[in-house]
Amino acid sequence: MTAIIDEQNTATAVTDFDAIVIGAGFAGLYALHKLRDQLGLSVRVYEAASDVGGTWYWNRYPGARCDIESVHYSYSFSEELQQDWEWSERFAGQPEILLYLNHVADRFDLRKDIVFDTRVNSMVWDDDASLWRVGTELGDTVTARYVISGAGNLSVPKTPEFDGVESFRGQVHLTGNWLDENIDFTGQRVAIIGTGSSGIQAISEIAKTAGHLSVFQRTPNYATPIVNGPADPDVISAVKANYAQVREASRNHFLGVPYTQVQPSALAVSAEERRRTFDERWNAGGFQLFIDSYQDILFDKNANDTIAEYIRERIHERVNDPAVAHLLAPKGYPYGTKRPPLETNYYEVFNQDNVTLVDIKTTPIESITETGVRTADAEYEFDIIVLATGFDAMTGPLMKLGIVGRDGLKLSDKWAHGPRTYLGLTVSGFPNLFLITGPQSPSVLYNMPLAIEDHVDFAAEAITYMRDRGLDVIEATLESEDNWVAHALEISSKTLLPETDSWYMGANIPGKPRICLLYVGGAPAYRATCDDVVANGYAGFTLDRAAVPVS
């Protein structure tokens, strides 16, 4: 039990823990370390999985890997950790990232405060005692002054839109909930449904051994080369020699990576120069084509057309059958308005005899049957079906927490028409709750470990600020929330994102409000705003004592 002591040294409330953290991925692990080891708070973490890792625990499908270079896609909070850890590849695969997160858990002795195999399903704010009552599926309830949600943005796989999955007599695997690394595809008739980032990674791998792989594609994606390989020792030493500056440069970049070659406008240069730039970035790999070529591609349709056309041309060069290339080349929506997948040999896979592309835009899937897949015009038989059908992104994991704020207000009701937050981190009516990389923050448009550290640090500083002043409760005002929502939507409306049905817009889930779920103003502008809020004594928040002190 933890007594919260005010300035007069009288206990104002008693809680089981100072803070509850949801999730043991990048966010939950760092939140536990920060709050417990640096602030000295009592902290409990609840994690639905049996071990740490979050995304990298649940996504063990073949080909799963990060698409931001590992020297950047990693924690920056410990100089010793970032110096000690050795990445074996430029873009680490899932097993190595999971190993890294296990190392972090062990190195900072985190496991002892994590309760695994336990899903939080209710969180109710008790206004009289100014605390959260956090309930789990196992039926127990604990109290805490603060809740830090590290429940993730991509941790609730989407329920398939078609019927019959349970009736299939073969194996069904979901990329977003894939725990078995040893599925053997050798000689099997395999279907994969979905060609988003996960699907594209999995297709390249599964095609190596499957007897036959049928790829069911609704919307083709603008996939570009990742250019992965063994970590370059020279690059690693250069980064390690200047890690602090590298991280600073990352934090001052739109996407949180220290790229420096972006140019103002694709339309301000000649076609030849543009082509040269695109070729260089294409060959360099990673997200360099996306965010290190021209600044206006997410904002100006004409600029976007130039890069979209470039990618289509490159796809046609790589696919032998022009009809298949035509189907694989995305049209009708701007590049970058869906999360751009990165690939290795993805387009070449469709030149293999054991791979077929099935266009389910024109002939949609009607159902999964006992033996395979039925589309509008054909029946297919399979041994294994892989569902790469994406996630209920950003809001899905939060909606499942059963959050009830002041005066019985449910988060699900408050967000019935889309998320409403202040800074993508807090919600009016839901005091002392911090949503790490929540909706309307840069989150998935930012290098996530850094986005996570920024948010956890914000929460920890706010808690420290209050503790120092004998305060107990922090809450966003309705006005600041209204302004933030309007600001986030105004920025997104100036980009091309709203033109496309994507999970960024909530459009992949039937019935989900169609609204931009991200702050698209870039990480540097966002961080500057958060810094101003802190510098101005938590502008836009009310800070208070507990409502009814308990002696």
Ligand X SMILES: Cc1cc2nc3c(=O)[nH]c(=O)nc-3n(C[C@H](O)[C@H](O)[C@H](O)COP(=O)(O)OP(=O)(O)OC[C@H]3O[C@@H](n4cnc5c(N)ncnc54)[C@H](O)[C@@H]3O)c2cc1C
**Interacting residues toward ligand X by CB under 6 A:** 22-28, 46-49, 54-55, 57, 59, 64, 66-68, 73, 119-120, 150-155, 198, 397, 400-401, 436-437, 447-448, 452
Q: Which H helix or E strand runs over 147? A: strand 141-149
DSSP 291-344: HSSBGGGGT-HHHHHHHHHHHHHHHHHH-SSHHHHHHHS--SS-TTSSPPPEES
Residue 95 gets which letter from DSSP? H
49/473 with CB nearer ligand X: 49
- Torsion 45-50-52-58 (CA) sign: negative
Paired tokens of 444 = 């998935």
Alpha carbons 315 and 321: distance in angstroms, whole number? 11
95/187 with CB nearer ligand X: 95
Beta bridge partners, 544, equal 473
Alpha carbon of residue 141 to chain centroid: 28
Question: Nearest CA to 385 among 209, 166, 157, 172?
Answer: 172
Least Å distance between CB 523 and ligand X?
A: 11
Q: Which H helix or E strand runs over 513? A: none
Alpha carbons 136 and 289: distance in angstroms, whole number? 44
Least Å distance between CB 445 and ligand X?
A: 9
Least Å distance between CB 215 and ligand X?
A: 18
Least Å distance between CB 397 and ligand X?
A: 5
Least Å distance between CB 275 and ligand X?
A: 28
Question: Nearest CA to 356 among 323, 312, 329, 334?
Answer: 323
Least Å distance between CB 267 and ligand X?
A: 29
22/497 with CB nearer ligand X: 22
49/231 with CB nearer ligand X: 49
453/475 with CB nearer ligand X: 453
- Torsion 70-75-78-81 (CA) sign: negative
452/546 with CB nearer ligand X: 452
Beta bridge partners, 22, equal 46, 149
Q: Which H helix or E strand runs over 140? A: none
Least Å distance between CB 401 and ligand X?
A: 5
Paired tokens of 144 = 């805490």
Alpha-carbon torsion, ordered 47, 53, 58, 59, to 10 deg:
160
C-beta separation of 376 from 361 below 8 A = no
65/212 with CB nearer ligand X: 65
228/306 with CB nearer ligand X: 228
Alpha carbons 89 and 427: distance in angstroms, whole number? 39
12/198 with CB nearer ligand X: 198
Count of beta carbons in the 10 Å neighbourhood of residue 224 = 27
Least Å distance between CB 87 and ligand X?
A: 13
Question: Nearest CA to 205 among 231, 232, 168, 178?
Answer: 178
Least Å distance between CB 119 and ligand X?
A: 4
150/330 with CB nearer ligand X: 150
Residue 187 gets which letter from DSSP? T
Single-letter amino acid, residue 329: A
13/92 with CB nearer ligand X: 92
Least Å distance between CB 80 and ligand X?
A: 21
Least Å distance between CB 550 and ligand X?
A: 28
